[in-house]
């Protein structure tokens, strides 16, 4: 091309990829809204391939799905479909939990439904130790339970602050049994 005239491929700056290259980093996983997966999956796949990232992650279930057991089931069905397309592209869909997934419907927690009602080949996890503890679970138990389905873990410590409220803590200074 002539100076000042670019093709789309030539003029497609990617500051994230530039930063990875500049600092010698890798991108092991991401957090992206579920809407982006459903509306722009081909572009999302291309972006992750460009970054060398095999673990695209859903940052959280959209709250409207978590408002009912039927909503959760719809999310699981749709997430499995997205997971299939990602698997076909050589990637693993992973899900980042928060505390709201410990809410129960008919005696079952949403987190248990996500583990039990999604396809282990299509739906993995980014277990977040802080949010498991905050939700009333045992992070070590969940790490063991998700063996093979958890490619990434967010290790965050948990404390009760001076106002008796849960808060984040620097790793090793909170209440989590990190050795376990």
- Residue 57's CB: how many other CB atoms inside 10 A? 21
pLDDT tens digits, one per residue of 20-55: 999 999 999 999 999 999 999 999 999 999 999 999
Contact, 62 vs 75, CB < 8 A?
A: yes
The confidence score (pLDDT) of residue 118 equals 97
pTM of the entire predicted model: 0.88
Smallest CA-to-CA distance from 132 within 106, 108, 100, 105 is with: 100
Query: CA nearest 101: which of 85, 86, 112?
Result: 112
Q: For 100-141, how does the pLDDT look when each residue is reduced to its tens digit (9 = 90+)?
A: 999 999 999 999 999 999 999 999 999 999 999 999 999 999
């Amino acid at each position: 091309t002539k100076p000042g005239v670019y093709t789309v491929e030539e003029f497609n700056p990617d500051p994230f990829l530039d930063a990875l290259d500049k600092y010698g980093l890798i991108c092991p996983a991401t957090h992206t809204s579920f809407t982006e997966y459903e509306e722009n999956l081909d572009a999302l796949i291309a972006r992750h391939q460009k970054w060398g990232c095999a673990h695209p992650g859903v940052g959280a279930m959209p709250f409207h799905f978590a408002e009912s057991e039927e909503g959760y089931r719809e999310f699981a069905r749709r997430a499995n479909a997205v997971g299939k397309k990602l698997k076909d592209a050589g990637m693993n869909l992973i899900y980042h939990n928060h505390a709201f997934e410990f809410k129960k419907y008919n005696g079952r927690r949403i987190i248990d439904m996500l583990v039990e009602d999604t396809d282990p080949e299509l739906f993995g996890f980014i277990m977040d130790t802080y949010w498991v503890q905050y939700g009333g679970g045992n992070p070590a138990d969940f790490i063991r339970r998700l063996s093979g389905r958890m490619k990434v873990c967010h290790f965050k410590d948990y404390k009760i602050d001076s106002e008796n409220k849960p808060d984040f803590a620097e790793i090793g200074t909170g209440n989590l049994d990190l050795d376990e």
